[in-house]
């Protein structure tokens, strides 16, 4: 984690921040967002392909080829992909994601397969009752209609205990309807599937601090980790014989998120310089309390609020960068240099943004000491 601010940043954490931006405003488990497979474009395409296979899409030549030459008399739920190509193995691997969102209403029984489809409450019967085809004498590729007669269930060998378990949980039959796989929530979309896998969570109060016109992604990433208190401060990664005190102020205080932002004498000087130069308001009454205050006062699209959010992210980023430089490379900068670097990065970002002329922009340029001819 020490090199997170440099070009060699860990790709998994960068990917996590991308996903967190996608789920902006939602608190989701870090273990979940570190799984990149759910948001890759290739996975979305695979999900749509699996759905087309399940629907046996008559408009697709590819689906027709898969059903005839790949699956043959099997279903995607029971297909053995051990010797298949990597692409097909990926399709089989993600297919279980669909199970919780699918419905198999039993209709005329001309389409669903008896042993390998999901029409039963227990899933594919061949998985739960592998002796079923032998006991009943019905081949593993039998259709559901082989155990129905005039719209009623007619199972052979009902004295067998396995068959009794199957019969005890049989679903109702609607013989007037065709066998059609349905999506429980209505129309299927990849977004609907992702929402099923990742249920909506309460909005976090600080979500707007990570956005705005003047956002700098690497700054927002470090701010996001700092808000969650997931930066590798010494109170989290303490190792025997290591120096756990703050390297910025040189005191004996334990390095924690609250100390770094901004109880440390060094970071307090940085904060004072921001207040002096840009009238930056910060209560400094405790890290989490200050985040709550900022999320309430710096909301919306107002340019001054967007600049304040960007400056907060910038000073947090540069403080963390200075901490890493001192701890791992033994190089140090003054508080004035750190504060100046934080201000300059945001100032250049403001200048680069194409914002229409307004009173807000005029006030912003005056506070940030940006010449009007730079617009």
Q: How distant, in Å, are the alpha carbons of 32, 181, 209 from that of 25?
A: 15, 34, 10
Query: Is residue 218 in some structural domain?
Result: yes
**Alpha-carbon span 343 to 272, nearest angstrom:** 13
Query: Is residue 5 in some structural domain?
Result: no
Q: Does one domain contain both 176 and 253?
A: no
Q: Does one domain contain both 170 and 252?
A: no
Q: Does one domain contain both 368 and 219?
A: yes
Query: Is residue 315 in some structural domain?
Result: yes
In the predicted model, residues of the chain with pLDDT beneath 50 are 1-12, 14-15, 18-19, 21-40
Q: Does one domain contain both 274 and 166?
A: no
**Alpha-carbon span 244 to 321, nearest angstrom:** 17
**Alpha-carbon span 235 to 244, nearest angstrom:** 7
What is residue 29's predicted lDDT score, i.e. its pLDDT? 45
- Measured at the CA of 118, the angle between CA 132 and CA 55, to 5 degrees, comes to 130
Q: Does one domain contain both 148 and 214?
A: no
Closest CA to 212 of 220, 221, 204, 222: 220
Q: Does one domain contain both 155 and 215?
A: no
What is residue 359's predicted lDDT score, i.e. its pLDDT? 92
Query: Is residue 10 in some structural domain?
Result: no
Q: Does one domain contain both 218 and 153?
A: no
What would you measure as the largest C-alpha separation in the chain, in angstroms? 91
Q: Does one domain contain both 112 and 231?
A: no
What is residue 305's predicted lDDT score, i.e. its pLDDT? 95
Scanning the structure block, which residue is given the tokens 């759905």?
A: 51
Tell me how far the alpha carbon of residue 112 is from its chain's centroid: 35
Q: How distant, in Å, are the alpha carbons of 223, 246, 260, 264, 289 from that of 286?
A: 15, 17, 11, 12, 5
What is residue 375's predicted lDDT score, i.e. its pLDDT? 62
pTM: 0.61
Q: Does one domain contain both 226 and 361?
A: yes
Task: Look at residue 99 and give its three-state secondary structure.
Answer: helix
Q: Are residues 159 and 147 in contact, defined by beta-carbon separation less than 8 angstroms? A: no
Query: Is residue 231 in some structural domain?
Result: yes
Query: Is residue 282 in some structural domain?
Result: yes
Task: Express each pLDDT in 287-330 by its tens digit.
Answer: 999 999 999 999 999 999 999 999 999 999 999 999 999 999 99
Last residue of a domain, one of 180, 213, 244: 180
10, with CB counted inside 10 A (0-12, 13-18, 19+), is exposed
Q: Does one domain contain both 215 and 113?
A: no
Task: Express each pLDDT in 72-101 by its tens digit.
Answer: 878 888 888 777 888 888 888 888 878 878
Q: Which domain holds residue 167?
A: 105-180
Q: How many domains does the chain have?
A: 2
Q: Does one domain contain both 173 and 207?
A: no
Query: Is residue 85 in some structural domain?
Result: no
- Measured at the CA of 218, the angle between CA 279 and CA 360, to 5 degrees, comes to 35
Query: Is residue 311 in some structural domain?
Result: yes
What is residue 67's predicted lDDT score, i.e. its pLDDT? 84
- Cβ count within 10 A of residue 336: 11
Q: Does one domain contain both 232 and 355?
A: yes
């Amino acid at each position: 984690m020490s090199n997170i601010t440099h070009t060699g940043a860990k790709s998994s954490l960068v990917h996590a921040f991308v996903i967190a931006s996608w789920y902006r405003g939602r608190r989701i488990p870090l273990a979940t967002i570190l799984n990149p497979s759910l948001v890759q474009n290739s996975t979305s395409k695979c999900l749509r392909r699996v759905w087309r296979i399940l629907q046996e899409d008559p408009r697709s030549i590819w689906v027709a080829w898969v059903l005839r030459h790949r699956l043959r008399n099997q279903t995607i739920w029971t297909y053995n992909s051990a010797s298949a190509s990597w692409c097909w193995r990926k399709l089989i691997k993600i297919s279980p994601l669909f199970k919780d969102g699918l419905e198999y209403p039993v209709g005329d029984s001309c389409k669903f397969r008896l042993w390998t489809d999901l029409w039963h409450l227990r899933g594919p019967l061949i998985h739960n009752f592998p002796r079923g085809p032998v006991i009943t004498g019905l081949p593993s590729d039998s259709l559901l209609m082989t155990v129905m007669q005039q719209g009623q269930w007619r199972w052979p060998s009902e004295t067998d205990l396995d068959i009794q378990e199957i019969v005890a949980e049989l679903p109702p039959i609607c013989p007037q309807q065709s066998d059609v796989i349905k999506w429980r929530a209505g129309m299927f979309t990849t977004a609907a599937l992702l929402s099923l896998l990742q249920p909506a969570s309460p909005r976090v109060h600080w979500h707007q601090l990570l956005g705005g016109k003047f956002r700098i992604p690497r700054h927002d990433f470090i701010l996001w980790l700092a808000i969650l208190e997931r930066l590798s401060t010494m109170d989290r990664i303490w190792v025997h014989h290591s120096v756990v005190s703050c390297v910025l102020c040189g005191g004996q205080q334990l390095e924690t998120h609250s100390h770094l932002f901004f109880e440390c004498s060094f970071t307090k000087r940085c904060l004072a310089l921001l207040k002096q130069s840009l009238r930056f308001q910060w209560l400094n009454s405790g890290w989490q309390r200050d985040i709550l205050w900022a999320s309430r006062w710096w909301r919306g699209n107002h340019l001054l609020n967007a600049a304040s959010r960007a400056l907060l992210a910038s000073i947090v980023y540069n403080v963390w960068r200075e901490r890493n430089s001192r701890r791992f490379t033994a190089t140090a900068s003054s508080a004035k240099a750190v504060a100046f670097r934080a201000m300059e990065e945001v100032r250049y970002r403001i200048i680069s943004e194409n914002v229409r002329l307004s009173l807000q922009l005029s006030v912003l340029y005056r506070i940030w000491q940006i010449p009007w001819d730079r617009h």
